[in-house]
Structure 1
Amino acid sequence: MKPEALVILTPGFPSSEADTTCLPPQQIFVRALKQAYPDTHLIILTFHYPFRADNYNWFGCEVISFNGKDWGKGFRLNTWVKVWKKMGELNKQYQLLGILSFWLGECALVGQRFAKRHQLKHHIWLLGQDAKAGNRFFKRSKPDGSNLIALSDFVANNFANSYGIRPQHTIPVGIDVSLFDNTSTERDIDILGAGSLIPLKQYHLLIETVRLARLYFPKLRVAICGKGPEEEKLKQLIWQYKLENNISLLGEIPHNEVIKLMQRSRIFLHPSEYEGFGAVIAEALYAGTHVVSFCRPMNGEIKHHHVVNDMNELQKRVIELLKRKNIEHHPVLLYSSAQIAAQMMGLYR
């Protein structure tokens, strides 16, 4: 009797157990899956990152990295062939429950064709921008609603509007509640931002908001953690508005340290232009902060999540929250990682 296994295809995965900043939501999901189903061998095939060809153990999961060079069609096709061959070997070695692809991209393309050839279950987890119109892998992968998993109602609606197909499953991000300290913490950070410093995340709007809010609260304490190409522009804006004493750019910090900052914060401001279901939103809510963002991930109302429509409304809501003296900071749990792991495995068993 061959051992049971589930294959996960992803563009990138942590290079080691200490690499906590690489795709934290996917890390948490895989660890929860392994913890809930220890007898199922989890094999992660990562196309590009880490930048080495390797086979290593990650919290009891087998990770095979292919160091795919994204230098053009030839190199990318070479990676696909290597992944295909490895999946063929795994299919002989294990009783495969199926394949799970992160994002509707090249992983989904390879996974879809291999699963069809070998009559295996394959699901594609739509994790954000891959649900937008213009995804060139949609026609090449030819997914149908039955094998598509949307990260949120927002992603499901966006995909349906873009392609005329509605994902039949919605599985959001889950959080690892064990990362949070239950002891009471002083809320000594007024506003926190966390994420990649890229144009899509619009962190300049956070700085513009602080510029206005400082008129009411001169000693406003703000922190932004993350790294990216917008960092220098943000530094210049902070200098231009003379906000050096109010805003600290902390750079990229370990995931558990971000959680601690959330538990010290009053408001988590997430001004991203597009967000499938930011794990940072779910984590911030469980950390007890009030979240202000433009994106509504789920159709229903979420306690302590303030969804705004434009910059004017965003600034008003932030200032209003800062003015509240007795604002509550109770944890709001949307979905635990254990719940999400069980929901996902239910699609394969």
Structure 2
Amino acid sequence: MKSKITHIVFLTPGFAESKTDSTTIPALQVYLKSLKATLPNTKMSLLAFQFPFSNNTYHWNGIDVIPLNGKNKHLKKLLIWRKAMRTLLKLHIENPITVIHSFWIGECSLIGSKFSKKHNIKHISTVMGQDANLGNKYVKALMKTNVEIVTLSENHKATLFNNYKLQSKIIPWELDTTSFPVIQESTIDILGVGSLNEVKNYSLFVKIIADLAKTNPNLKVEIIGEGTMRAALEKQIETLELNAIINLTGKLPRQDVLKKMAQAKVLLHTSTYESFGFVFLEALHSGLQVVSFNVGIAEPLPEWKICTSNKEMLGTLKSFFNEPINDKKRVYLTEKNNCIQSYLKLYNE
């Protein structure tokens, strides 16, 4: 597709602080790398409102990243918004902006809407997570604009519509499969990957492992991630005498996460909500069986068991260990290049 766009500006609360930062919004990193490779001659700038904690502009895979250094401080918000508007104006004067693409319905979509309306610029906003849930005060600012809203899955689209009656176009993320290690013989029985917070529901994860361990005492389980629930999970693991079974690895570089996946049998994902679930794509492409609730991009497959209850989740895992799992194979869930081509169509409309 021939592109009419000459300068895209991305607005996001946070972004990778360097080329070596692989853990800050991996899906967005994969998308932007692919987009830049597809449009090598298109100017791309990115404003990071809160993170990195820096004032220094830097180059990331051909994209100019401008940190606004908000540091997640509420008292600085108005200052950061004014700074964002001034920065956008400066960028627009130097090289006219043809598309503004904001991520999350929040401060970025708010500023994107204001600036795009004032300067008659196309604005696309991708809903990224729990911003589709009730109680989002920023949604109102989008309701009377010409913004094109994108959600990440059927579940995500339904949540946004049911809560706010906002229509959206679904564009799923896709993987860069070149970074995946070779699938290996499994040395990890069950793997959990995600932030240790209430939504990811790791207290249920630990309870299920405790029940499963009664009939499978030699289980090897790892949970990759860091977060506010870590201390509570450590206490729960100790109380249930699972220290020899469950290992909390903490936060790992993405490549190390993929290595762990290559060594595992099952991804257990107890999250109560996902907008998409990039970890599902990674796990399936790493040859894992996936066990989850109906969240995000959940799709019933021979390799993906979608459960409706805690009991069903435990029963599914028991069946995996009562019967040998077939040889691991890669499963690619999303259509290759669909993400890039779908966004290019929106940019050029």
Q: Which runs of 5+ in 1 are unaligned?
A: none
- Output the CA distance in 2 between the equivalents of 1:210 and 1:145: 48
Residue 284 of structure 1 deviates from its aligned partner by 0.5
The AA in structure 1 aligned to 2:58 is: Y
- Output the CA distance in 1 between the equivalents of 2:260 and 2:116: 42
Tell me which residue corresponds to 2:30. 28
TM-score, with length taken from structure 2: 0.94
Classify 1:328/1:296 alpha carbon distance in 2 versus 1 (closer, same or farther; 3 Å).
farther
Kindly indicate whether the alpha-carbon contact (under 8 Å) linking 1:33 and 1:338 is maintained by their aligned counterparts in 2.
Answer: no
Kindly indicate whether the alpha-carbon contact (under 8 Å) linking 1:222 and 1:247 is maintained by their aligned counterparts in 2.
Answer: yes
Kindly indicate whether the alpha-carbon contact (under 8 Å) linking 1:197 and 1:227 is maintained by their aligned counterparts in 2.
Answer: yes
The AA in structure 2 aligned to 1:89 is: K
- Output the CA distance in 2 between the equivalents of 1:224 and 1:143: 43
- Output the CA distance in 2 between the equivalents of 1:21 and 1:213: 31
- Output the CA distance in 2 between the equivalents of 1:145 and 1:308: 38
- 2:303 counterpart of 1:304: yes
Kindly indicate whether the alpha-carbon contact (under 8 Å) linking 2:122 and 2:147 is maintained by their aligned counterparts in 1.
Answer: no
Kindly indicate whether the alpha-carbon contact (under 8 Å) linking 2:47 and 2:67 is maintained by their aligned counterparts in 1.
Answer: yes
CA RMSD for the aligned pairs?
Answer: 1.9
Kindly indicate whether the alpha-carbon contact (under 8 Å) linking 1:263 and 1:287 is maintained by their aligned counterparts in 2.
Answer: yes
Q: In the TM superposition, what are the counterparts of 1:306-325 in structure 2 within 5 Å? A: 306-325=305-324
SS class of match (2:99): strand
Q: Which runs of 5+ in 2 are unaligned?
A: none
Tell me which residue corresponds to 1:202. 201
Kindly indicate whether the alpha-carbon contact (under 8 Å) linking 2:283 and 2:290 is maintained by their aligned counterparts in 1.
Answer: yes
Residue 95 of structure 1 deviates from its aligned partner by 3.6
The AA in structure 2 aligned to 1:115 is: S
SS class of match (1:346): helix
SS class of match (1:312): helix
Deviations 1:18-44 (A, max 9, x none): 111111111111111111211112211
- 2:190 counterpart of 1:191: yes
Tell me which residue corresponds to 1:257. 256
Classify 1:38/1:284 alpha carbon distance in 2 versus 1 (closer, same or farther; 3 Å).
same
- 2:99 counterpart of 1:98: yes
- Output the CA distance in 2 between the equivalents of 1:48 and 1:189: 36
- Output the CA distance in 2 between the equivalents of 1:195 and 1:71: 24
Kindly indicate whether the alpha-carbon contact (under 8 Å) linking 1:290 and 1:305 is maintained by their aligned counterparts in 2.
Answer: yes
Classify 1:149/1:184 alpha carbon distance in 2 versus 1 (closer, same or farther; 3 Å).
closer
SS class of match (1:288): coil
- Output the CA distance in 1 between the equivalents of 2:89 and 2:344: 22
Deviations 1:239-266 (A, max 9, x none): 1111111111101000011011111111
Residue 3 of structure 1 deviates from its aligned partner by 8.9
SS class of match (1:175): coil
Residue 342 of structure 1 deviates from its aligned partner by 2.4
- Output the CA distance in 2 between the equivalents of 1:180 and 1:162: 37
The aligned length equals 345
Classify 1:295/1:201 alpha carbon distance in 2 versus 1 (closer, same or farther; 3 Å).
same
Residue 8 of structure 1 deviates from its aligned partner by 0.3
Kindly indicate whether the alpha-carbon contact (under 8 Å) linking 1:157 and 1:166 is maintained by their aligned counterparts in 2.
Answer: no
Residue 140 of structure 1 deviates from its aligned partner by 2.4
SS class of match (2:260): helix
SS class of match (1:27): helix
The AA in structure 2 aligned to 1:23 is: I
Residue 139 of structure 1 deviates from its aligned partner by 0.9
- Output the CA distance in 1 between the equivalents of 2:205 and 2:190: 9
SS class of match (1:199): coil
Tell me which residue corresponds to 2:179. 179
The AA in structure 2 aligned to 1:268 is: L
- Output the CA distance in 1 between the equivalents of 2:97 and 2:48: 18
Q: In the TM superposition, what are the counterparts of 1:1-349 in structure 2 within 5 Å? A: 4-73=6-75, 75-142=76-143, 147-167=148-168, 169-181=169-181, 183-298=182-297, 301-335=300-334, 338-349=337-348
Kindly indicate whether the alpha-carbon contact (under 8 Å) linking 1:28 and 1:337 is maintained by their aligned counterparts in 2.
Answer: no
- Output the CA distance in 2 between the equivalents of 1:143 and 1:154: 24
SS class of match (1:348): helix
- Output the CA distance in 1 between the equivalents of 2:113 and 2:301: 35
SS class of match (2:53): coil
Classify 1:250/1:149 alpha carbon distance in 2 versus 1 (closer, same or farther; 3 Å).
same
Residue 285 of structure 1 deviates from its aligned partner by 0.9
Residue 301 of structure 1 deviates from its aligned partner by 3.5
Kindly indicate whether the alpha-carbon contact (under 8 Å) linking 2:5 and 2:347 is maintained by their aligned counterparts in 1.
Answer: no
